[in-house]
C-alpha cells in the first residue's frame, strides 16, 4: 500500500541548486534560441542610431500605424473579453439542447487562420475592408481564446458565494460579478493576453482587409530595399507593444486558492430567450468558420475553378506544408524537452529565467521573427539565407513555447515513486527516462508536437520572408492569389489547408483521450 501511494505521488519541484549542471546548460542553450531574433533586432536598431530612431518614431505615418495597431488590439480584446465571458457563462450555466456540443462549436474558430476567415468574407462581400471589417474578423477568430478558459474556470468555481449573493437580492449579473468573476478573472485575463498578442501580430487578415497596421508597415518597409532600417525600427516598436501587453497581464494576473465547491445548478432558459442565447453562442463560429467555408465552397463549385486547378502546384504546396510542419514540430520538441524537464523537476530564479526566455517567442509576432532572421542570416550566416534550415529555425522560435507548456505538464505528472523504484532496480537515468518517464509523458509531448505542427501549417508572414525560392506552402499560395483578388484560384489551396489542418486536430483529440485514460 505504501508503494502504491508512492507511485501515485506526483513529482514535487526541487530547488534549482539540485539540478544537474549539464541540464541547466543544455536548457539555457535551447532557450537562447528564442532570444536570438530579439537580440539581433535590438542590435540592428541600435546601429541605426538614436537620431534615426527618434525621427522614425515621430513620423506621422508611423504614429498612425501604431495607433491603428493599438486601437484594433484594444477593440478586439475588449469585445472578446465581454462576449467570450458571456458565451462561457451560457455554455456553463444554461441547459440547452445539444449539451456539450455547444462547447465544441465554440472552439471551431481556432482551426481557421485569420487570413482564411478574411478571404471568406471578401468572397461574400468584395467591398469588405477597413477597421470594422478587421475588428469583426479578428473578434470572430479570437473569441474562443477567452471563452474556453473561462468556461473551464466556471466549472471549478464555487457556487456557494453566488447562491448567497442571489439570496441577498442580487440579480444573475450582479451575483456573477461579485462572487464568481474574481475566481475566473485569471483565466479571462490570460485569454485576453492571447487575443491581444494575436491581434498585434496579425498580418494576413489586416493586409487582405486593407487596414494598415504595424505589421503591414513592416512588410512594406522591408519590400523597399532602400529602407530596411525603418523595417527594423518598426519591428522593434511592435515588439515593445507585445512585451508591454505581456508585462501588463502578469501584473494584473490573479491567483485563486482552490476550495471545496458546490456545483452550480444549470438554469433552463425560457423558450422565448433561446434564440437570443443561440445567436450569442453562434456569432463567433458563424463569423469565423461558416461564412469563410461558405465562400470557399461557392468558389470551389464554380466550373472555372475546377478546370483551372494546377494539380502539380497544389500537390507541391501540400507536400511542402506537410514536410515543414513535421520538421518544425520535431525540432521544436527536441529544443523544448530540456527546458520542460528543468521546469517540471526544479524551481528557482534560474529555472524561471530559462523558462521565461523559452516562452519569449510567444510574444514575438511572426513578421518580426522573419524580418530579424533575414537580417541575422545575411549578416552572420549568409549561406543559410532563404534555406529550409532558417525557416524551420523561425518556426521553432515562434512555436517552441507550445511544446514547452505541454511537455512540462506531462513530465510534472509523472509519479515520483515510479522514478525511485526504477532507479532502485538498477536502471540508469537514460533507461529510466526511456522506459518510465518518456512513456508516461509521451501523450503530452505528442500533443505539443501536434500543436506546433498545426501552427506551422497556418503560419504566413515568417514563411513569406524566409521560404527558399521554389518552395511554397498552402498559406503562401492562398496569400499570393488573394492579394491580387484571384479568389477562384485561391479556393483549392484554402480547401486543402482546412482539410490538412483537420487531420492533426482529430489525432490531437485521440491523444488527449489516451492521456486521460492513462491518468
CA distance 235 to 311: 37
Asked if pLDDT for residue 99 goes beyond 70, the answer is no
C-alpha torsion sign, points 385, 318, 201, 360: negative
Kindly list the structural domains of the chain, giving each domain's residue range(s) and its CATH number in brackets, ordered by start. 30-256+270-294 (1.10.3720.10), 302-519 (1.10.3720.10)
Mean pLDDT of 202-223: 84
Complete DSSP assignment for 283-326:
HHHIIIIIHHHHHHHHHHTSHHHHHT--HHHHHHHHHHHHHHHH
- Which has more confidence, 467 or 484? 467
- Which has more confidence, 133 or 172? 133
Burial-class residue 282 by CB neighbours within 10 Å (0-12, 13-18, 19+): middle
Place 132 in a pLDDT band, splitting at 50, 70 and 90: very high
Place 19 in a pLDDT band, splitting at 50, 70 and 90: low
Res 127: pLDDT: 84
Asked if pLDDT for residue 414 goes beyond 80, the answer is no
Asked if pLDDT for residue 136 goes beyond 90, the answer is yes
Asked if pLDDT for residue 516 goes beyond 50, the answer is no
Going by the DSSP 8-state scheme, the letter that residue 94 receives in this structure is E
Res 3: pLDDT: 39
Query: What percentage of residues in the chain have a pLDDT greater than 90?
Result: 10
Asked if pLDDT for residue 8 goes beyond 80, the answer is no
pTM for the whole thing? 0.75
Mean pLDDT of 116-125: 84
- Which has more confidence, 85 or 165? 85
Least confident among 233-247, 248-262, 289-303: 248-262
- Which has more confidence, 149 or 320? 320
Mean pLDDT of 409-432: 61
Asked if pLDDT for residue 431 goes beyond 90, the answer is no
Res 5: pLDDT: 43
Task: Answer for the pair 296, 495: CB distance below 8 angstroms, yes or no.
Answer: yes
Query: What percentage of residues in the chain have a pLDDT greater than 70?
Result: 72
Where is mean pLDDT largest: 10-14, 90-94, 137-141, 279-283? 137-141
Place 307 in a pLDDT band, splitting at 50, 70 and 90: low
Least confident among 168-172, 297-301, 366-370: 168-172
Calculate the average pLDDT of the chain.
75
Bridge-partner residues for 95, per DSSP?
A: 268
CA distance 337 to 26: 10
Where is mean pLDDT largest: 267-281, 310-324, 503-517? 310-324
Task: Answer for the pair 214, 66: CB distance below 8 angstroms, yes or no.
Answer: yes
> Diameter of the chain by CA atoms?
73
Asked if pLDDT for residue 503 goes beyond 90, the answer is no
| Distance linking the first and last C-alpha atoms of the chain | 19
**C-alpha cell recorded at residue 231:** 523595417
CA distance 500 to 317: 11
Task: Answer for the pair 123, 299: CB distance below 8 angstroms, yes or no.
Answer: yes
Nearest alpha-carbon partner for 371 in 241, 214, 205, 480: 214
Place 7 in a pLDDT band, splitting at 50, 70 and 90: very low
Asked if pLDDT for residue 135 goes beyond 90, the answer is yes
Q: How many CB atoms lie within 10 A of CB 273?
A: 10
Mean pLDDT of 314-325: 90
Res 13: pLDDT: 56
Res 331: pLDDT: 93
**Tens digit of pLDDT for each residue in 41-76?**
787 777 767 777 777 777 888 889 889 999 999 999
Asked if pLDDT for residue 178 goes beyond 60, the answer is no
Res 134: pLDDT: 93
Angle at 249 between CA 244 and CA 250, to 5 degrees: 100
Res 519: pLDDT: 40
Least confident among 33-42, 221-230, 314-323, 437-446: 221-230
Place 204 in a pLDDT band, splitting at 50, 70 and 90: confident
Task: Answer for the pair 29, 355: CB distance below 8 angstroms, yes or no.
Answer: no
Place 506 in a pLDDT band, splitting at 50, 70 and 90: low
Q: Give SS3 for 346.
A: strand
- 24 CB contacts (<8 Å, ≥6 apart)? 16, 342, 350, 354
**C-alpha cell recorded at residue 80:** 472578446
Mean pLDDT of 301-306: 60
Res 1: pLDDT: 39
- Which has more confidence, 372 or 248? 372
Going by the DSSP 8-state scheme, the letter that residue 100 receives in this structure is T
- C-alpha distances out from residue 254 to 183, 184, 284, 444, Å: 9, 9, 27, 26
Res 342: pLDDT: 82
Mean pLDDT of 79-104: 78
- 456 CB contacts (<8 Å, ≥6 apart)? 324, 325, 328, 329, 395, 399
Amino acid at each position: 500500500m505504501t508503494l502504491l501511494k508512492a507511485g501515485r505521488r506526483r513529482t514535487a519541484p526541487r530547488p534549482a541548486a539540485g539540478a544537474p549542471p549539464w541540464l541547466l546548460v543544455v536548457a539555457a542553450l535551447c532557450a537562447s534560441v528564442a532570444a536570438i531574433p530579439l537580440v539581433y533586432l535590438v542590435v540592428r536598431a541600435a546601429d541605426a542610431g538614436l537620431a534615426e530612431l527618434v525621427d522614425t518614431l515621430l513620423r506621422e505615418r508611423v504614429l498612425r500605424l501604431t495607433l491603428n495597431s493599438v486601437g484594433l488590439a484594444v477593440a478586439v480584446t475588449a469585445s472578446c473579453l465581454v462576449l467570450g465571458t458571456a458565451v462561457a457563462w451560457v455554455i456553463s450555466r444554461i441547459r440547452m439542447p445539444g449539451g456539450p456540443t455547444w462547447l465544441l462549436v465554440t472552439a471551431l474558430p481556432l482551426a481557421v487562420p485569420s487570413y482564411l476567415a478574411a478571404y471568406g468574407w471578401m468572397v461574400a462581400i468584395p467591398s469588405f475592408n477597413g477597421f470594422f471589417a478587421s475588428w469583426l474578423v479578428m473578434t470572430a477568430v479570437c473569441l474562443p481564446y477567452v471563452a474556453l478558459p473561462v468556461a473551464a474556470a466556471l466549472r471549478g468555481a464555487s457556487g456557494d458565494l453566488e447562491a448567497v449573493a442571489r439570496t441577498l437580492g442580487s440579480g444573475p449579473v450582479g451575483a456573477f460579478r461579485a462572487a464568481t468573476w474574481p475566481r475566473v478573472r485569471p483565466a479571462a485575463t490570460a485569454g485576453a493576453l492571447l487575443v491581444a498578442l494575436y491581434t498585434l501580430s496579425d498580418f494576413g487578415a489586416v493586409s487582405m482587409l486593407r487596414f494598415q497596421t504595424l505589421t503591414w508597415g513592416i512588410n512594406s518597409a522591408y519590400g523597399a530595399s532602400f529602407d530596411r532600417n525603418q523595417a527594423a525600427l518598426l519591428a522593434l516598436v511592435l515588439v515593445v507593444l507585445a512585451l508591454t501587453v505581456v508585462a501588463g497581464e502578469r501584473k494584473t494576473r490573479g491567483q485563486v486558492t482552490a476550495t471545496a465547491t458546490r456545483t452550480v445548478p444549470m438554469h433552463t432558459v425560457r423558450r422565448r430567450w433561446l434564440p437570443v442565447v443561440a445567436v450569442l453562442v453562434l456569432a463567433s463560429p458563424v463569423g469565423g468558420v461558416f461564412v469563410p467555408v461558405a465562400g470557399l465552397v461557392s468558389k470551389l463549385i464554380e466550373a472555372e475553378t475546377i478546370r483551372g486547378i494546377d494539380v502539380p502546384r497544389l500537390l507541391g504546396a501540400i507536400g511542402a506544408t506537410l514536410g515543414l510542419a513535421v520538421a518544425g514540430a520535431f525540432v521544436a520538441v527536441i529544443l523544448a524537452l530540456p527546458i520542460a524537464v528543468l521546469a517540471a523537476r526544479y524551481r528557482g530564479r534560474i529555472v524561471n529565467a530559462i523558462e521565461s526566455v523559452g516562452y519569449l517567442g510567444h510574444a514575438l509576432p511572426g513578421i518580426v521573427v522573419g524580418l530579424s532572421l533575414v537580417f541575422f542570416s545575411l549578416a552572420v550566416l549568409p549561406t543559410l539565407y532563404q534555406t529550409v534550415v532558417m525557416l524551420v529555425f523561425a518556426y521553432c522560435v515562434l512555436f517552441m513555447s507550445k511544446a514547452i507548456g505541454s511537455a512540462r505538464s506531462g513530465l510534472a505528472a509523472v509519479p515520483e515513486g515510479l522514478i525511485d523504484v526504477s532507479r532502485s532496480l538498477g536502471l540508469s537515468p537514460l533507461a529510466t527516462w526511456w522506459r518510465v518517464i518518456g512513456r508516461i509523458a509521451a501523450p503530452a509531448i505528442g500533443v505539443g508536437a501536434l500543436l506546433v505542427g498545426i501552427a506551422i501549417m497556418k503560419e504566413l508572414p515568417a514563411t513569406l520572408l524566409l521560404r527558399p525560392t521554389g518552395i511554397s506552402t498552402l498559406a503562401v499560395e492562398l496569400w499570393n492569389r488573394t492579394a491580387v483578388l484571384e479568389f477562384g484560384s485561391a479556393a483549392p489551396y484554402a480547401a486543402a489547408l482546412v482539410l490538412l489542418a483537420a487531420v492533426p486536430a482529430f489525432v490531437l483529440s485521440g491523444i488527449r483521450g489516451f492521456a486521460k485514460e492513462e491518468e
